Structure formats: C-alpha cells, structure tokens
Structure 1
Amino acid sequence: MKDQTLSDANVGKFIDPDLTAKGEPRAKVALSDPQTLWFNTGTLCNIECANCYIESSPSNDALVYITEAEVARYLDELEARRWGVREIGFTGGEPFMNPEMVAMARAALARGYEVLILTNAMRPMMRKRVQAGIAELQAEYGDKLTLRVSLDHWSRVHHDAERGEGSYESTLVGMRWLRDQGVRMAVAGRIIWAESEAAARQGFGRLFADEGFAIDADSPAETVLFPEMDTRVEVPEITTACWGILGKSPKDVMCSSSRMVVKRKGAGHLSVLACTLLPYEPEFDLGQTLEEAERPVALNHPHCAKFCVLGGASCSG
C-alpha cells in the first residue's frame, strides 16, 4: 500500500472530526437523499495505473472479491431500510475480474435498479463468457445497464502515459464491441493535463463522433471528468460556514447520496463506507450494516475538500 499520510502542507489539519485546525466547527454531511449503493468488487486489476486512487493492481487484494449472495443481502437491507436508492454501482479494481460480476449485476437489475459498472473495457471484459453475459443483460434490461469506461484522455499519448502502452487501443476495442452490442456507455476521464475542461470535452466529442459512440461529451453524467486527487497539495478544511461562502449545499456532496460496501481481506465481515474514494481510511468505515451507515459523515480528509466540495465531482451521474 502507498503511504497515505498527509503532506507537510496539510500537517495539523484533518485530525479532529468535529473541529478544524483553527478550532472552527467542521462541516458534516447527512445521508439526506440516498441514490446509489456502491459495491467494490475487489481491488485486483489487470493493469496498474500511475495514479490510481484505490491503488488497484494485479497484486493488490486488500479488498477481496464480493459475491452475489453478499450483494443480495444488502439489497434486502436496502428494501427494509426504504432508502429509495435508484442505482447500484460496481467499482474495483476491474469489476470484470470478479467471476460473479455478471451475476451481481443481474441480481440488482432483477430488482428494478439501474446498474452502473465501472470498467477499463480491456481483456477481463472481453472474455467470451463475460461478453455473453453482458449481451444477455443488455437484451433483457436495455438502458437500465450502463458501463462507464475509464478513458483518461481523448488522446492515445496521455491515456497510455497513465495506464500503459497499448491500453488506449485495447480500451477502444472494448468500447467498439459495447457500441456494436447496443450497450449504454459513459466515460470517466481526468483533468490533470494543461487543458481546460472545455477543451477536454471538445476532444472527447471528436473521438466519440469519429467512433460512433453514443456518448454526450458535454454531459457531466455521460462524460465524467475527475480532478486529480493529490494529498501533497495544500487544501482548506471545510467548515460549516463554507456552505454559505461557497454557495454550496451538503446535498451537493456525494456522501449525502451514496455509500459503498467493501470486503477487506481477512476481516471476516463486510463494511459500509462513507465514500468510494477513501476505502482504506478507518474513520470512514461506518459499520457492517446500512442502518449503521446512516449517520452523518465528517468532511475530515483532503479529498473531501478538493475532490468533492471544491472540485464538485461525484462518482454517480
């Protein structure tokens, strides 16, 4: 695991869940409108990216494979708690490395949920058994299923710099197959190069038009552009006063509308986390049940400030 300690620029910050370093009341976010329940399918991935927020790789099994039966248990609890969730999301690692990925998606779709699967659309997704399963799900559930493909940049050079030589073309091969099957697609990119968001969206728009991908480059839900998460950069702590100063609401932050279920290696139980971005931070582990996970979340990490509040990013559309 990489060193998750804060940089010198942030020393003294993000310590007390109730107060900032200046002694001001720290902002907290209630689960006010649950829309998405995420499942981390496991941190194993077929590739190792230069800046993976969850440190996925062919050897990182810190989060192990979750099963269809375990997903079903939380779907049962969702109904019992009456959260009103519309979407079940699956992230990794690479979800299609999990042998039960198609079955887990089917279990959620069969209950009427929309399903979002985050994938690099590379070799694990392109195995014949997986392709057959995806095609069956699309035929039965149509646009209730969306695959959000990780395409860091619209250009080969920048994408391959992040994910490895040849990964851009491999991903496009997978996206072309999804296009031909009629599977609904979205894209997740990054804003880390010397390029404005408008220029990035224009570049993606050209690519989508050239490839015949039915993805709207101008839609934040269909082309999700994430800011880089870097704890070496100084970021401000978010106080209760910040909402009014920034003109934002706690309801804008993704922990107001989502939770994520993970299975830690050797833990013997599953955990519900406040955030998809902080799988290894113990203070964001809310317990083993959805009922326990209903409590408010203190914005006590640099990612909370830079990524969610100031960056305005969200893992869901």
Structure 2
Amino acid sequence: MRILLTGASSFTGAWFATALVQAGHTVTAPFRGTSGSYEGARGQRVKSLGGLVEPIWGLSFGDERFQDLVASQSFDLFCHHAAEMTDYRSWSFDSLAATAANTRNARPVLERLVEKGCAALIVTGSVFEPFEGLGDPQHRSFNPYGLSKHLSFEVLRLEAERLKLAIGKFVIPNPFGPREEFRFTSFLAREWIAGRVPKVATPAYVRDNIPVSLLTRSYVDFVTRKLAENASLRGTPSGYIEDQGAFAHRVARELAPRLGCPCPVELAVQTDFLEPLVRVNDQRAPQLFPDWSESGAWDDLAAYYKTVFS
C-alpha cells in the first residue's frame, strides 16, 4: 500500500514508519521541520528513516502545502499519528489550541484524500484520553493533552463518517524503548549507570508499559490487516500491567545483568493521586504475537542505554 504517515519523527512514529516499510509498503512522511533541523533523539530518529520513507519537508497537517500533497498524490491509507505534544504533561497545555492544530482544515484534507482513492484513516489515540482504557470508573482525562487527543479524534471521526471514509483508532499506552524521549525507563537507566539509586515518586499508579517493538508489531498488524476486516476496529494493545513500583523492579531485574551494574530502586510513599489510579489497555499484545522476542527487546534497550548514558 501507499501510506501517508504524519508524526514520523516522534518516538513511536519512527518505529511505525520503519516497520511499515519493512512490511513492503511505501510510506510518505511529512515533516514540519526542514532536513537537518532535527537534533537529539528526534534527529537520530529522522536520520534512521533516510532511504526508507519519502520525506516531505516543511509542512504541517492541514496547511496549504499539505492540502496540495493530498490533492496531487494517491494514498491507500492515511495514518494521522502527529499531534501537538509540547509540554504535554503540563496543566498549562492548551488543549483547544492543540485540537485546532491537530485537525486544521480536516474537511478539505479528507475530501481530497477520498477523491484520490484513499480507503481509510487511522488516528492514533492515547490512554491519557477520557473514555479510553480500563480502571477509571469516572473515565477522566489525565490532563489537557489527553483532552486534546479525544477532541481531535471526534472532529476527525465526524468528518470521516460524513465522507464514508473508514476510520480506525489505535490507542497507545506507555511505550518505552530505544530512541525514546527522556522518560521513566530512561531515568532509571541513567541513574543506575551513574551509580545512583533512582527514587520512584508515584509507585502506586497502575500503568500499562509496553516495549516499543511490541507496540509496533501491534500497529502494523492493525493498520494493514485488521482494518480491512472491519472498518470500525479499535486497537488497544497492552504490555506490562502493574504498578509503577513493580515495573521499576522489573526493569531493574532485566537491565542489571545486561548493564553489568547493580540496579537498586527506592520507592517513595505516594501522596499525589491527581491522575487516575489505574489506566490500562485491554488487548494482551504478547499473546497476539508469540514470536515477538521479549528478551531481544530488553537486549536492545540495554544496548541503547549503554550508548546514551555511558
């Protein structure tokens, strides 16, 4: 298939783009930045996509050049993975401005895609959204970012259904793996390699941490096979479901022999419960992909952290 994928410079987006190409598909990837403008982990990810995707530099979803792109080329599938994420955990995040950016000119964009023969739209969701995941009877949004993801999907679904464009939603929990932004597992590995003891501030939260290679297997399967079977499908892959304290100890057990250093963990007494206590997905990905190598994923993660933090 010819696939248009936004958000390919992101942690999960780069993994998705690479795997889709390896599966035999042609991926066109619009980038908001220019060639060479990306730095750090994002720059490494963009560089890794060289020779794999068809890059289109300097355009954002819905702008004039983006509309020209979808009017001039034919795509079988549109994967809208990009989203506004700057300071996404901050309560000052502007959910309405983010929604506007995520859905800018959605109507003419989708109309032109349909006119050129596009069969389906896949929107990436987040377990941070209201009404996503299991465990929170109040179905709350984690934060303004989660709200923006929910509102963005509803706008896109409204426009897609008007055009009779098949739409699917792939909900991401908490991915971790090589070339990630600095997150929980990165924090743990950095402290261990530096000889320090990391302190987990919120060990009581029950979360769904999934290796990015397993998440990627789920995504490629979802967008290339299952959507063809049922146009209204939802993908909600799940990885390690446990509290963050137990997950920290899991990471320690896996990385200690691979990093060659002790990996002690200190668990704080959690007093902040602003987020839902439990929020997880419900499709057990390891059972769906029995050939996925769990040990290989930990090997790759340890090798990456050695390169980054040693």
Please state which band the TM-score falls in when normalised by the shorter chain: 0.3 to 0.5
Higher-helix-fraction structure: 2
How high is the TM-score relative to the length of structure 1?
0.35
Query: Whose relative contact order is higher, 1 or 2, with alpha carbons under 8 Å and at least 6 apart?
Result: 1
**TM superposition score normalised by structure 2:** 0.35
